[in-house]
Amino acid sequence: MTSNFQLSRPLKRAQHLTGYRTLRVAILGQGAVGKTAITVRFITKRFIGEYDPTLETIYRHVSLVDGECVQFEVLDTAGQEEDAMLIEEKIKWAEAFIIVYSVTDRCSFDEVLRLRFLINHVHSGLKRGHSDAPPPVLIVANKKDLQYDRMVTTEEGDGIAQALKCPFFEISARDSYEEAVAVFNLLYREMATSGALSAFRRKVSSKLMDKIPRIPSTATMSLPTRSFSLSSVKDFLTD
Ligand SMILES: Nc1nc2c(ncn2[C@@H]2O[C@H](COP(=O)(O)OP(=O)(O)OP(=O)(O)O)[C@@H](O)[C@H]2O)c(=O)[nH]1
């Protein structure tokens, strides 16, 4: 944050009244469906056009949702997850989930069901304090801009989401920043309305999770093929 940078009134008030709530989100799905693109779109407003298989990262990003300052910790998982134990540990760490598939890739759509059941299975075994509210799970169909390559219809996506009782979004990380924001905002609202916000503040100590690099929201990040600046609060205020 620069020194001449003024906080807007609503943001000041929200910080004063509530401080930051932190929400740990895991974004899951097969390789190349757009998990990193959606996460980076949400945090920086920019779209990453090139593909570079993800090395897992936890992004921290502060955003204003319904007048409340929320710090999202977003675990961008690697699509080519090798080890079932590793994925389970990541699922234990998270309090809320986004399962992404690409409308151009039917295999990634078929994977949604497996991931949804895995989340259920792992979280049903966790102690969650005084509420048994299950963790919110959103299903996101990405790449809707690629109409000519489409293999999964909107109705199919909607159908599986209804069957699994999950909110559903069809988006294009390429075309829309607002759609990426809407996904994260709804996740937070689902968490708040389910009563899971207070119940879920489990402490997670895990050697595996400690090893995953964390990117603070105001850091400037430069990866071998991707380079972008993370300055989320400033981004929010310049809207
Ligand atoms: N046309 C289009 N391309 C997209 C969209 N979202 C992502 N992509 C592209 O799809 C490719 C894969 O995107 P990533 O965000 O790296 O996918 P990922 O799911 O993180 O992949 P892994 O790291 O392997 O798990 C990249 O070339 C992106 O530019 C979209 O909405 N539309």
Q: Which CATH number fits domain 21-194: 3.40.30.10, 3.20.20.220, 3.55.40.20, 3.40.50.300?
A: 3.40.50.300
The neighbouring-strand residues paired with 72 are 23, 61
* Residue 68 confidence (pLDDT) above 60: yes
The overall pTM is greater than 0.80 = yes
Q: Ligand 1 pocket: which residues have CB below 6 Å?
A: 29, 31-37, 48-51, 53-54, 78-79, 142-143, 145-146, 172-174
Residue whose entry in the numeric block shows the structure tokens 């050697």: 207
- Among all chains, which residue has been given the structure tokens 């409340």? 68
Q: Which two tokens stand for residue 215?
A: 């990117």
Which range has highest mean pLDDT (86-90, 185-189, 204-208)? 185-189
| Nearest CA residue ID for atom 16, ligand 1 | 51
Distance CA 100, CA 79 (A): 10
Report how far residue 209's alpha carbon sits from residue 205's, in angstroms, rounded to the nearest whole number.
8
Give the CA distances from residue 46 to residues 51, 175, 216, in Å, rounded to whole numbers and listed in that order.
Answer: 14, 10, 17
Question: Looking at this predicted complex, what is its ipTM?
Answer: 0.99
Sequence spans of domains, the chain: 21-194
| CB-count exposure of residue 19 (10 Å: 0-12, 13-18, 19+) | exposed
Question: Token match 């090893």: residue?
Answer: 211
| 46-55, 71-80, 125-134: range with lowest mean pLDDT | 125-134
Q: What is the pLDDT of residue 144?
A: 98
Per residue in 137-184, pLDDT tens?
999 999 999 999 999 999 999 999 999 999 999 999 999 999 999 999
Calculate ∠ Cα 191-193-197, nearest 5°.
40
Q: How much distance in Å is there from the Cα of 124 to the middle of ligand 1?
A: 31
Choose from 53-62, 80-89, 127-136, 164-173 the range with maximum mean pLDDT. Answer: 164-173
Averaged pLDDT, 33-42: 96
